[in-house]
Structures are given as C-alpha cells and as structure tokens.
C-alpha cells in the first residue's frame, strides 16, 4: 500500500513493506520525480583535489522507481583515492520515529567494478559529521541498496551516535568512492532515499 505525505514542502511516498511478524512503514523522502530536490555539491568539495563529482542533475535514463533519478556526473582518475559527494540539508530534522535509512545507487553496465557507496550524516548544533564504517560495493548494471541502522546500538557508523542524534539531523550525504581503482568517467544514479520505522 502506498500513501502520499508531505515532507519539507514536497511530497513523499509512504510505503508499507511486509517484514517478518510486523508491518513497517517506509517513507521515500527523496525520489527525484520533482527535480534535484535540493541535492548539491557542497562548496568545500569543489576545491578538493580528491573530488570527482562534476555535476548533478535529474535524469530519466534510469530509475529504480518512478521515472527519474538523481544523476551524478563523475570523473574518477584512478591511481589515487577520489570521492564524488553530494548532500542535502534536511527540512524535517527529527528522525526519532525511524530506525533505518536507505539509499539506492546504480552504476551503468559499462562501469568498472570497484566503485563503492557510503551514507554520511551531519547532526546537531555542532554539525557533527559521521559516515558509515564501511563502504558498500556497487554492482555495474544493477541497483545497490545501502541500508543503515539509525539506533544508538548501531555499528554502522564511524563515530558513536547517541539517542539524541536522531532529534536533530542537519544534512544527509552520499559519497561514491574509488580507492586508487577504478578509473571511471560517467554517470552514477541515486534514487529511493527512504526512512523506515
């Protein structure tokens, strides 16, 4: 079952997904059907020699659901670590009702193996940055869903997050990485950014 709900001035889709012994609600907070929805390259990243993202747009070339996805145009040089990072400031900062966050990433079939994806959060008045402990390998020609636990007992994050952090999420970011290999010049797609109970 699907229901449309308001999310920060836009529209989100409320999905009910069958889970063992329970029915959990999942909200698609960014589906990119209405444009880039505030996702952008941060200014600080544009001046980094390790930065591989050249542009952000919405594309109808591929989508996990609906007709559009966020398209990242990247240039990974190979031979050294490089990252393509895109982020969005959060409109609804209180995530205390949610236990999981997921993002789906797609690299085209012609992309080399070796690219990895990672979710990054910025939380609280001090704008504390925390990223996933491990990046997830992206499979060329297939959607890869990255799901993280948002609860205080989660082992998904590099830096400890207590019960309070979900009350004030400031930014959500996605980083695609090439750790010396591979070199790749082309598109990477983001779709179905979801929060789940």
- For 85-99, what is the mean pLDDT? 93
Distances (CA, A) of 59 to 30, 128, 171: 14, 32, 23
Give the pTM: 0.86
pLDDT above 80 (res 113): yes
pLDDT above 90 (res 81): yes
What does the pLDDT look like over 151-170, one tens digit per residue? 888 889 887 677 788 889 99
Q: What is the CATH number of the domain that holds 38?
A: 2.60.120.260
Q: Residue 81 is part of which domain span? A: 2-196
Percent of the chain with pLDDT over 90: 68
Query: Cβ contacts of residue 125 below 8 Å, gap of 6+?
Result: 168
The number of domains in the chain is 1
């Amino acid at each position: 079952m699907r229901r449309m709900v308001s999310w920060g001035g836009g529209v989100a889709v409320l999905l009910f997904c069958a889970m063992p012994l329970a029915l959990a609600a999942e909200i698609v907070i960014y589906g990119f059907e209405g444009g880039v929805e505030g996702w952008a390259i941060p200014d600080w990243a544009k001046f980094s020699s390790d930065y591989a993202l050249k542009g952000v747009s919405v594309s109808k070339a591929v989508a996990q659901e609906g007709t559009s996805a966020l398209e990242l145009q990247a240039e990974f040089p190979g031979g050294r670590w490089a990252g393509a990072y895109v982020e969005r400031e959060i409109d609804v900062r209180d995530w205390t009702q949610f236990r999981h966050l997921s993002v789906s990433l797609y690299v085209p079939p012609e992309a080399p193996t070796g690219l990895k994806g990672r979710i990054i959060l910025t939380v609280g008045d001090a704008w504390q940055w925390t990223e996933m402990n491990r990046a997830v390998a992206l499979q060329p020609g297939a959607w890869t869903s990255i799901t993280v636990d948002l609860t205080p007992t989660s082992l998904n994050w590099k830096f400890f997050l207590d019960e309070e952090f979900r009350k004030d999420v400031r930014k959500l970011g996605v980083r695609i990485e090439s750790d010396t290999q591979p070199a790749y010049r082309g598109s990477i797609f983001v779709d179905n950014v979801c929060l789940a109970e």
